Structure 1
Amino acid sequence: MSEQAPDDQRPPIAAAVITRDGAVLLVRRRVKEGSLSWQFPAGEVEVGETPEKAAAREASEETGIQVANGKSLGERVHPNTGRTMIYVAFDSVEGQASVVDDDELDSFAWVRHSELTSYVPYPFFAPVQEHLDTALRG
């Protein structure tokens, strides 16, 4: 069994911030990451992949939807997980979301702005919150 690389040597995580019709897509993982339960579709950026492509791939693999026109919202080291996170906004969405990766996901929800704190009770990364404030209140 190999040792896991320290967080600063592990690939960054690309998160897909997907909005449609006044709601944002959140997924609930079967295994919590720290205190995280509901979060954006996300996964590691693979070798040779841009964060935008990684976030789009993860959205497809986890929920079956296709996204386009990704725009980076910024990156940070996540305060709960210690992982480098890159947030990518998408507003072009095709297909209907479902739980495709049922080994990893338990559920998904399209969440309106007024419901966000019911799903994610801690503050979002400021650029993500600003994007959601604009996109969901549209």
Structure 2
Amino acid sequence: MSDQLEGRPAIAAAIIVQDGRVLLARRRVREGELSWQFPAGVVEPGESGEQAAVRETLEEVGLGVEAVKNLGERIHPATGRRMIYVVCEVHSGTALVADADELAEVEWCDKARVGELVPFPFYGPVQEYLDASLS
């Protein structure tokens, strides 16, 4: 796929699971129906989806992470943006609101809590990864 869809760059999302919980962030400004989502942001020119997921995680939630697996990409049905989903592992830091302009809060969520905060299905490969990884 092209790096641009209708002139807009792709978005890379970091899927971070630690101790049976996934990190979600609540955006200050909703994107359509989306309020809680994975740490994510625009893939900058010359950057891979994996690099963008790592950078955005540090910028938004203060975690140093390593990209370990690309789960795939799709056009997001709610936003129309090209999304790249990247599994990342934490190697340093503590999750917090590092970018208060973009985020209101962060939370490590078990499977039940994810269902409360995100009441619609995830992209298939992301859902499969979470089903296998969350308590």
Distance 1:99 1:123 in 2: 25
* Runs (5+) with no aligned partner, structure 1: 1-5
Name the aligned partner's letter for residue 110 of structure 1: W
CA shift, 1:7, in A, is 4.4
Matches within 5 A, 1:1-138: 7-137=5-135
CA shift, 1:114, in A, is 2.1
CA-to-aligned-CA distance 1:61-101 (integer Å, 9 cap, x gap): 00000101431001000000000000001134421000010
Which structure has greater strand proportion?
A: 2
* Runs (5+) with no aligned partner, structure 2: none
Distance 1:67 1:41 in 2: 11
Distance 1:114 1:22 in 2: 12
Assess if the C-alpha contact under 8 Å between 2:14 and 2:54 holds in 1: yes
Distance 2:32 2:97 in 1: 22
Assess if the C-alpha contact under 8 Å between 2:11 and 2:84 holds in 1: yes
Assess if the C-alpha contact under 8 Å between 2:20 and 2:133 holds in 1: yes
CA-to-aligned-CA distance 1:2-58 (integer Å, 9 cap, x gap): xxxx94321100000001010000000000000100000000101111100100100
SS across alignment from 1:98: coil
CA shift, 1:134, in A, is 1.0
Distance 2:92 2:111 in 1: 21
Structure exhibiting the larger radius of gyration computed from Cα positions: 1
Distance 1:30 1:86 in 2: 22
TM-score using structure 1 length: 0.91
TM-score using structure 2 length: 0.93
Q: Which runs of 4+ in 1 moved over 3 A?
A: none
